[in-house]
Structure 1
Amino acid sequence: MSGMRWRLFKGFLRLVIGLAVVATLAGGYLFWRAMPTYSGSEKLPGLSAEARVWRDAYGVPHIFAASVDDAARALGYLHASERLFQMEAQRRGGQGRLAEILGPDRVAGDKFVRTLGFYREAESSFSALSPAAQKRFQAYADGVNAFIDSHKDALPPEFLLIGDHPEPWKPADSLVFGKLLSLELSNNYEFEALRARLRQKLGPEQAAWMFPGMQPGAPITTEPTLGVTHASVKSLKDQIGALIGVTHGASNEWVVAGPRTVTGKPILANDPHLGIGAPILWYLVRIVTPEGSVKGATVPGTPLVLLGQNESIAWGFTTADTDVQDLFIETIDPAERSRYLTPDGPEPFETRAETIRVKDSADVNITVRATRHGPILSDASEDLGSLAEPGKAIALAFTGLGDHDTTADAFLRLNGARNWSEFLDAMRLYQTPTQNIVYADVTGDIGFFSPGLVPLRKSGDGLAPVDGASGDFDWTGMVPFEQLPQLHNPEIGFAFNANNANVPSDHQPTFGQDWEEDFRARRIQQFMERIEKHSLDTSAAMQVDHLSLAAKALQPFVAAIAPSDERARQAQALLASWDGVMDKDRVEPLIFTAFLSSLHRILIEEKTGQNMEAMGPFAATTLISLMRDHPSWCDAPGKPDPDCRKALGRALDEGLALLVKRDGGDMSQWHWGSEHVALLQHKVFSHVPLLDWMSDLSTPSSGGFYTLDRGGGWEPSPDRPFARTEGGGFRGLYDLADPEKSRFIIATGESGHIFSRHYRDLVPLWIDGKSITLTGSEDDLKKAGAALLTFSP
């Protein structure tokens, strides 16, 4: 190389290196200036007095304030400082404004949400709240805005990357999260649409085979038992859910009375199973004011402790899967398409115009239609649109669409309740989403209650779409509060729920039929029968239990397979001797899950030709029922399979073939954890080179879809079919003998800032089933080295 060329090359190399250094420094500065302040002092307008925030070793804030409203103002500031982009995604999801920042791919989701009118309902519901609740939500909003106003030039880098700037926070921005949660945790309409399609394709009898219902001996929450000796004791939606961190709710909860615990006082445990990511949905906090103290899990964007404990009571939630949605097939007036038929003659559709602004594209104008039953969902859902015949439209009736929703008031009262009576008073204000709540208090009371609005129907069971013109299936009101499922101090000494039935299937009034499969509930039942005295440690072990009763139930079917080759024979032998524990270091969980996934595809998806997502990724209960009770279902044209052995063998072969393709031919090198990775990925930075691996907290994981430590995911990705996308992102263990000993954990860290020391510090504890306490006076926290941030008026 000549001297001139060498000098040019060195000059170019210096330029490239210089630009790389400048870019690195500039990027580092953007992240550094957005880092939250953990110590020092800040101005927070509107406070009545100084508020102090002590951050413990894991960055969890302990807020000491002169009033609950001051605490809400401080919490708003803290949430915004750590999770502002998460909050922005949530409110835009509820407003139907994601396309503004994410482009055309989000138009369909925005149209869906605009059709439901969530944000309009949130704005209206704010006026229905008590003055105290309105004041609390406004104080929280003021705290959020104080942070935004003081950090206009130091916002999280996500805003710069997507070209967004947060608008001032409003109370409705907090309330709309409840609307989104209600949608994600209520999927009755999806089951109704699925039943309708299956009946069209298969006929009523075979369609019913897909929904075997409650199995004999299944646990029923309001009728807890101890074995036979005590038998007499009484889509688009998913796109939105993925952005807000909530997809297809599932959870575990139990409460055990004092006579059955080592302390003599109740123990309560709860771990909600929602979508996981980084940061996780939840944010831990402890609040201490003259009115009392409360601690547990909040969701950034809301001023409420949703899951937790105060000085007197503790509570936990699971999704109830109550039937609170109905699809009504409306008949369009043949003489005038702007009207639809009702029992009193044609009525005009209610309409409103909406404009969806789209990043890098033209605005999209839509007209939202609604009937007396609710919004026309077939206008916004391609799936429902294909179900509507010509001259028809499908409306959604949904208790989650109320515009005078007082659920926020219920939570505020719950945070301050002191006994069972005050707890019930709080629940009277609860509307949506329907939940199962376990309760315990320091006096020794335990209980269970399933609050929320549940419709009463003139006729019909709510299981499939019905005619809307006749009025025969209209709602006539709501189930009276006193008739909602409940227990108070059951004689047996415990109550639990794992999204299983909370009442018998023939109960009147009806609360639904589409409970989640009961494998987790049966596993809790086993623990209740085997543990003589419960403790926080036994409950902690239950929360991370990895035994799959679904695997045990399917082992006899695997044993019936005639192996096609040596690999299949080896896999069959492994599964036959397996104990059913979904351990990340074992090979059997991987083989079993691949087999079950293939069996689901062969016997359900291929045979029905339908998208069966509403039933879950495996539908093991349906598979077992089909093979046990309707083996003719396994037959193929010209290929009878009366004992389903051919289908089972094909499922094993295809599952193994997939594993060979993904993990190589040496079965001894296969491990569940190498595929079952908990995907703790940042929603923005996971798509940015270099930042993707720097922000990724993913880790190998035990458990599975049917274990108490919930794993897997509702809709597996083709490129990562065995990844863990759901789980107990929060776990709470509550000691009512000494509330200071209660334990908490979230899956990631408190902060959403990827270079914060509190972005990832809780991951090792979470994956190992460990936890932390939230306790201590200000002096105790100071002595422990906690950082102090002081807010002054």
Structure 2
Amino acid sequence: MRRVFRWLLRIAGGMIILSVLTVSGVYYLASRSLPDYDKTLSVKGISAPVEIVRDNANVPHIFGKSDADVYFGLGYAHAQDRLWQMITMRRTVQGRLSEVFGMRTLAIDKLMRRYDLYALAIKSVAAQDARTTTALNAYAAGVNARLDEINRDALGRGAPEMFLFNVPVAPWQPADSIAIGKLMAVQLSGSLSSEIERARVSLALPDRKMLADILPDVPGKGIAELPDYASLVPGEELNRFAQSSGPGLPDSPLSPFPAPGLEGASNAFAAAPSRSASGGTLLANDPHLGFTAPTIWYLARLELQQGGVIGGTIPGIPSVLTGRSHFLGWGLTSSYLDDLDVYMEEINPENTEEYRTPDGWKRFKTRKSIIEIKDEAPVTLTLRWTDNGPVLPGSHYNLDTVTPPGYVASVNWTALSDHDTTLTAGVELMYARNVQQAIEATKVQIAPSQNLMLADADTIAFKTIGAMPERDPAHDSQGRMPSLGWRAENRWKGILPNADNPEIISPESGILGNTNNKTVDRPFPYHVTFDWGDTQRIHRLQRLMQSRQVHTRDSFIEAQLDTVSFTARTLLPLIGKDLWFTGEPAPKGTPERLRQDALTLLAEWNGEMNEHMPEPLIYAAWVAALQDRLIRDELGPVADDFTHVQPVFIERVFRDVDGASRWCDIIQSTPVETCTDIARQSLDAALIWISERYGDNLESLRWGDVHQAAQDHPTLGNIPILRYFVNIRQSTSGGDNTLMRGATKGTGSDPYLNVHGAGYRGVYDFADPDSSVFITSTGQSGHPLSRHYDDLAQLWRRGEYIPMSLDTALARAAAVGITHLNPAAP
């Protein structure tokens, strides 16, 4: 027995030692790729020494004798900290994820191959101006210098993910940077999903007039009534198809395709000197994208020959997308410009290789494309194009539910340009010395379309940038639903002049602001879009901007971090007006008492979506249950498409705008339900859901426990044990419709998970530029073992910032390292 015990001890000891050795070995290999920021290195591709000074937040301040050398330094710094992120984005746009991740990313690759964005990026290289071409080449050389260093010095393959997904890394090319810009257009585009959703809802509704309720125009002057989708395209079976739901969009953390309601958003606002306490202009910007670890944003300072530029970059792209120079500040918001149309292309019944055009039948352009798949046989796609654009299969975006027999769907989209000069716009913007030069520089923006907020020393301005399609006034659906591709009136006539893009310079009020809200009220086809991104946050921003005669940097920060929901303040008095303090007192433990307690809490609530309060969760669950009850009987399975609350719809119903209260009656039931009935039933359903998950002690609920910012690693975030080290989860305030926006997931077991928001915040004060501040939501490094992987996350969560200074002495004062890049001997 003693011998058995000794052997058991030996085995256990051996396993412990083996585990320690394994963990130590893994740590050693992973740590080999941790960047050394304090070193001297000889590299090819620079004309003179380059210095990269990393301040105490690991923000690189890059100095060089020429601008080309500075771009080289940026490429090197990006590759030091975000190599895995860069090559994953490049593989995404190339449609080559499956070579690494196998079958789970095949759907993404198929769709990206059909868009063919990488081939278009290669063709677009020649369209850039001379300065941008120099920047692209120098940046690529900087990335490749880091790749050469990794290979030469065995630096852990450059990133710890490389040990799990060991694949060759091709040298960086100028086209790769343009392609990542096109990938951003994918992430910010919701037009295709919007068209399909409108068509599906139109087919499902028993009365087409109800479409104006559930998918209303933004309040303001409207347009003439549109026909329903069934009258635009042939096919008696469409109504049956529309009730089903196909696979839709690829469901993967690596998918670049935004879920409905989670397309790009953002806030930007500016004050002229007359509205600034300091007498200088002010500008604030917080662009919103899906959360990841690391965030898509990377802070950097470029010391160009005409002066410094500092702000938010995206790894892979050699420009500061949002930030400031000595002369100018700029910020971006999604414009929601309607830059895409879906077409139903009729196939020749006598020859399926042809489709109908205004001039008769024409052959599809076709090309074979082979997708290599890890551990599986390759898949060969036949890519097809029409004059309108690429053909997409019905399995994507639920297109099969709105495509009649004998037709296929194609798309025309500004991002499909093969002379895309968007990167030139981004580079030239950094050299602009004033508002007018910035507007001129960005005329060549193609896609994505953005709202550009500008401030120089004494002027503020707003300009929508990006190509705006010119549509025929006689277009069947005005671009709101799929239309017949062979009709000439449905096809684009070209691109509207840049002068037609909305523009405001030096407004009389001295204040500019945009939250993706409606910016112009112009008739089709000069309307910009029908689907504006915000109808709610703008009201809160207006109130905050109007509450002061003059603003300061701190008041702009306060607005960025504001968590009061205008939506909650508007909807709760409507849906609860007949429920507040009504009914007999109910004993504790009964559903009636729980409802009364919830109503008491909400009646005393000011609409602040504070992470420490229970009211935001009760409110969010109530309005979600309410919307589902209102639409489920009319829309059936199509109701599943509405993953987020539509505030204008609920307001129309409870104000009975144009008879919208008819939604409150459950059409399958005999009784005629009132809106008060539905509001009460929905609150009870929400409280049951809350009680089953979190208990019935409402006062102990905490919004932040369910509204956690899910900054998850796209590739390692689902691996057991490892996910606890690479995912960054934080309790957060805010919600779908607050200025400090924390858009919820809307589906699944954690519907209130915060998955989309401000990965970057910046506030620029031109009375004292070095008092400007910025922050990102995670950290500069993409390496989970780096202390800079999540060191900014807590600051971001608490609403704190770091200095945005171009003072070189400050950068050096507490530098975490200085990298010296010297030209290699010829």
- TMscore range, shorter length: over 0.9
Q: Percent identity?
A: 33
Q: Which amino acid aligns with 1:70?
A: D
Aligned to 1:689: 720
Q: CA 1:505 to 1:648, structure 2 compared with 1: closer, same or farther past 3 Å?
A: farther
Greater shift, 609-618 or 286-295, is seen at 609-618
Give 1:519-530 correspondences, 5 Å limit.
519-530=536-547
Aligned to 2:705: 674
What CA distance in whole angstroms lies between the structure 2 residues aligned with 1:385 and 1:786? 55
Give 1:634-783 correspondences, 5 Å limit.
634-636=664-666, 637-641=668-672, 643-713=674-744, 715-783=745-813
Aligned to 2:169: 166
Q: CA deviation at 1:604?
A: 2.9
Q: CA 1:27 to 1:429, structure 2 compared with 1: closer, same or farther past 3 Å?
A: same
Aligned to 1:587: 614
Greater shift, 340-349 or 370-379, is seen at 370-379
Q: Which amino acid aligns with 1:575?
A: L
2:604 to 570, 577, 584: 577
1:515 to 518, 527, 532: 532
| Contact 2:323/2:329, CA 8 A, preserved across alignment | yes
Q: Which amino acid aligns with 1:483?
A: D
| Mapped pair 1:787 → 2:817 | yes
| Contact 2:425/2:444, CA 8 A, preserved across alignment | yes
Q: CA 1:659 to 1:167, structure 2 compared with 1: closer, same or farther past 3 Å?
A: same
Aligned to 1:553: 570
Aligned to 2:661: 631
Q: CA 1:122 to 1:236, structure 2 compared with 1: closer, same or farther past 3 Å?
A: farther
What CA distance in whole angstroms lies between the structure 1 residues aligned with 2:311 and 2:3? 68
What CA distance in whole angstroms lies between the structure 2 residues aligned with 1:290 and 1:456? 39
Cα deviations by residue, 1:76-95 (Å, 9 ceiling, x for unpaired): 11111111111111111101
| Contact 2:339/2:467, CA 8 A, preserved across alignment | yes
What CA distance in whole angstroms lies between the structure 2 residues aligned with 1:137 and 1:22? 44
| Contact 1:552/1:580, CA 8 A, preserved across alignment | yes
What CA distance in whole angstroms lies between the structure 1 residues aligned with 2:641 and 2:459? 37
| Contact 2:775/2:792, CA 8 A, preserved across alignment | yes
Aligned to 1:375: 390
Q: CA 1:262 to 1:402, structure 2 compared with 1: closer, same or farther past 3 Å?
A: same
What CA distance in whole angstroms lies between the structure 2 residues aligned with 1:275 and 1:782? 33
Q: CA 1:88 to 1:245, structure 2 compared with 1: closer, same or farther past 3 Å?
A: farther
Structure 2 unaligned segments of length 5 or more: list them. 223-246, 584-590
What CA distance in whole angstroms lies between the structure 1 residues aligned with 2:420 and 2:395? 24
Q: CA 1:451 to 1:306, structure 2 compared with 1: closer, same or farther past 3 Å?
A: same
Q: Which amino acid aligns with 2:208?
A: P
Q: CA deviation at 1:329?
A: 1.0
1:400 to 398, 415, 435: 415
Q: CA deviation at 1:615?
A: 6.0
Q: CA deviation at 1:661?
A: 1.7
Aligned to 1:231: none
Q: CA 1:682 to 1:638, structure 2 compared with 1: closer, same or farther past 3 Å?
A: closer
2:193 to 190, 207, 220: 190
Structure 1 unaligned segments of length 5 or more: list them. 219-234
Give the alignment's Cα RMSD to 1 decimal: 2.0
Q: Which amino acid aligns with 1:584?
A: E
Aligned to 1:283: 298
| Mapped pair 1:207 → 2:224 | no
What CA distance in whole angstroms lies between the structure 1 residues aligned with 2:809 and 2:594? 64
What CA distance in whole angstroms lies between the structure 2 residues aligned with 1:727 and 1:161? 30
Q: CA deviation at 1:151?
A: 0.9
| Mapped pair 1:487 → 2:514 | no
Q: CA 1:427 to 1:320, structure 2 compared with 1: closer, same or farther past 3 Å?
A: same
- TM-score normalised according to structure 2 size: 0.91
What CA distance in whole angstroms lies between the structure 2 residues aligned with 1:505 and 1:618? 27
Aligned to 1:598: 625
Q: CA deviation at 1:287?
A: 1.1
What CA distance in whole angstroms lies between the structure 1 residues aligned with 2:53 and 2:288? 29
Aligned to 1:451: 465
Give aligned pairs, total.
774
What CA distance in whole angstroms lies between the structure 2 residues aligned with 1:16 and 1:549? 59
1:364 to 365, 379, 398: 379
| Contact 1:86/1:244, CA 8 A, preserved across alignment | no
What CA distance in whole angstroms lies between the structure 1 residues aligned with 2:821 and 2:268? 37
Aligned to 2:100: 101
Q: CA 1:639 to 1:72, structure 2 compared with 1: closer, same or farther past 3 Å?
A: farther
Cα deviations by residue, 1:167-210 (Å, 9 ceiling, x for unpaired): 21111111111212112212112121112122222142122321
Q: CA 1:375 to 1:776, structure 2 compared with 1: closer, same or farther past 3 Å?
A: closer
Q: CA deviation at 1:616?
A: 5.6
Cα deviations by residue, 1:89-140 (Å, 9 ceiling, x for unpaired): 1111101111111111211111111111111111111111123212211111
Q: CA 1:382 to 1:632, structure 2 compared with 1: closer, same or farther past 3 Å?
A: closer
- TM-score normalised according to structure 1 size: 0.94
Give 1:249-264 correspondences, 5 Å limit.
249-264=264-279
Q: CA 1:356 to 1:613, structure 2 compared with 1: closer, same or farther past 3 Å?
A: farther
What CA distance in whole angstroms lies between the structure 2 residues aligned with 1:720 and 1:57? 36
Q: CA 1:624 to 1:238, structure 2 compared with 1: closer, same or farther past 3 Å?
A: farther
Q: CA 1:27 to 1:405, structure 2 compared with 1: closer, same or farther past 3 Å?
A: same
| Mapped pair 1:20 → 2:19 | yes
| Mapped pair 1:352 → 2:367 | yes
What CA distance in whole angstroms lies between the structure 2 residues aligned with 1:432 and 1:448? 18
Q: CA deviation at 1:781?
A: 3.1
Q: Which amino acid aligns with 1:67?
A: S
| Mapped pair 1:500 → 2:517 | yes
What CA distance in whole angstroms lies between the structure 1 residues aligned with 2:167 and 2:195? 38
Cα deviations by residue, 1:418-456 (Å, 9 ceiling, x for unpaired): 0122112211111111111111101x0111000111111
Cα deviations by residue, 1:60-82 (Å, 9 ceiling, x for unpaired): 11111111111111111111111
| Contact 1:68/1:291, CA 8 A, preserved across alignment | no
The DSSP-based 3-state class of the residue aligned with 2:303 is: strand
Q: CA 1:148 to 1:33, structure 2 compared with 1: closer, same or farther past 3 Å?
A: same
What CA distance in whole angstroms lies between the structure 2 residues aligned with 1:238 and 1:333? 30
Q: CA deviation at 1:768?
A: 1.2
| Contact 2:108/2:250, CA 8 A, preserved across alignment | no
What CA distance in whole angstroms lies between the structure 2 residues aligned with 1:340 and 1:700? 53
| Contact 1:190/1:614, CA 8 A, preserved across alignment | no
Q: CA 1:776 to 1:308, structure 2 compared with 1: closer, same or farther past 3 Å?
A: closer
Q: Which amino acid aligns with 1:260?
A: R
What CA distance in whole angstroms lies between the structure 1 residues aligned with 2:642 and 2:594? 31
Aligned to 1:76: 75
What CA distance in whole angstroms lies between the structure 2 residues aligned with 1:640 and 1:396? 45
Aligned to 1:536: 553
Q: CA deviation at 1:675?
A: 1.0
What CA distance in whole angstroms lies between the structure 2 residues aligned with 1:616 and 1:499? 19
The DSSP-based 3-state class of the residue aligned with 1:103 is: helix
Q: CA deviation at 1:243?
A: 4.8
Cα deviations by residue, 1:342-363 (Å, 9 ceiling, x for unpaired): 1111000111111111112111
| Contact 1:296/1:309, CA 8 A, preserved across alignment | yes
